[in-house]
Amino acid sequence: MGAMVAANWKMNLPPEGVEAWVGSVVGREESEDVLVVVAPPFPFLTQLAHLGGGAISVAAQNLSEHEAGAYTGEVSAGMLDRAGCSHVIVGHSERRQIYGEGDELVGRKLRAAASAGLVPIFCIGETKELRDGGGTRGLLERQIGTALRVAGTVDGLVVAYEPVWAIGTGDNATPEQVGETHAQIRDLLTPFGLADVILLYGGSVKPDNAAELAAVEGVDGFLVGGASLTSESFKAIWQAMVSSRA
């Protein structure tokens, strides 16, 4: 099974600069074992694709569910493809929470991505209240079931388990929580013929917790926010993933 470490820069750029970041990351031998994906803000997609020269894959952080038309401020899957993207993040919790994206819209976006040949990185995960109240599995079942029924077949789908309470908080899920929840997610994906998808963990992954999280059964990589902004910490996380597969 493949593995991946994906950088989500959100609405930020690396303090060292895009060019220096890419120069520091590309050309390392690990790249063949664990795919490196970078999701910069929209205006930097083409630059990333150019600088990465194929050694890194480029992802958008969002897309429209529509192909073209009067949708001011939106960007279609076909446009992302032309900009050099191979992947796109869909259903990130910040899109769900700040911009009100629901499961059906997420499903339509998965379908739009797939129809343009982009690989969606489909994000799911529970809030603290749901985890504390025992509602995690029910929520994941709804997020997966609703979106995938709307989306239909999505070739090469990547799923990212990102508990909302762990994103940007410094408070990562424990290896036990990740192992247990990844097993539940694979179980929920099985009826859709997707038991073998690349399944990432995201939520406060850092150089000092990456090795123990990478060692968890069923973790095929990471989606990394804050710690992806400097090339040194991103490379350390990537290296931890590579070492766990050696």
The site for ligand PEP (CB under 6 A) is made up of: 8, 162, 167-168, 202-205, 223-227
Q: Which is nearer to ligand PEP, 40 or 225 (by Cβ)?
A: 225
Name the catalytic one among 65, 87, 162, 182. Answer: 162
CB 158 to ligand PEP: min, Å: 13
CB 228 to ligand PEP: min, Å: 7
Is residue 124 a contact partner of residue 185, using CB atoms and an 8 Å limit? yes
Q: Which is nearer to ligand PEP, 120 or 225 (by Cβ)?
A: 225
Q: Which is nearer to ligand PEP, 83 or 227 (by Cβ)?
A: 227
Name the catalytic one among 65, 92, 94, 126. Answer: 92
CB 226 to ligand PEP: min, Å: 3
Per the annotation, the verdict on 162 as an active-site residue is yes
CB 16 to ligand PEP: min, Å: 18
CB 227 to ligand PEP: min, Å: 6
Q: Which two tokens mark 8?
A: 């989500």
Residue at shortest CB range from ligand PEP:
225
DSSP per-residue string spanning the chain: ---EEEEE-TT---TT-HHHHHHHHTT-GGGGTSEEEEE--GGGHHHHHHHHTTSSEEEES---SSSSSS-TT---HHHHHHTT-SEEEES-HHHHHHS---HHHHHHHHHHHHHTTPEEEEEE---HHHHHTT-HHHHHHHHHHHHHHHH---TT-EEEE--GGGTTTS-PPPHHHHHHHHHHHHHHHGGGT-TTSEEEEESS--HHHHHHHHTSTT--EEEESGGGSSHHHHHHHHHHHHHHT-
Q: Which is nearer to ligand PEP, 70 or 98 (by Cβ)?
A: 98
- The C-alpha atoms of residue 241 and residue 30 are separated, in whole angstroms, by 10
Q: Which is nearer to ligand PEP, 204 or 244 (by Cβ)?
A: 204
CA torsion, points 64, 67, 69, 70, in degrees to nearest 10?
-10
Per the annotation, the verdict on 87 as an active-site residue is no
Tell me the catalytic residues: 92, 162
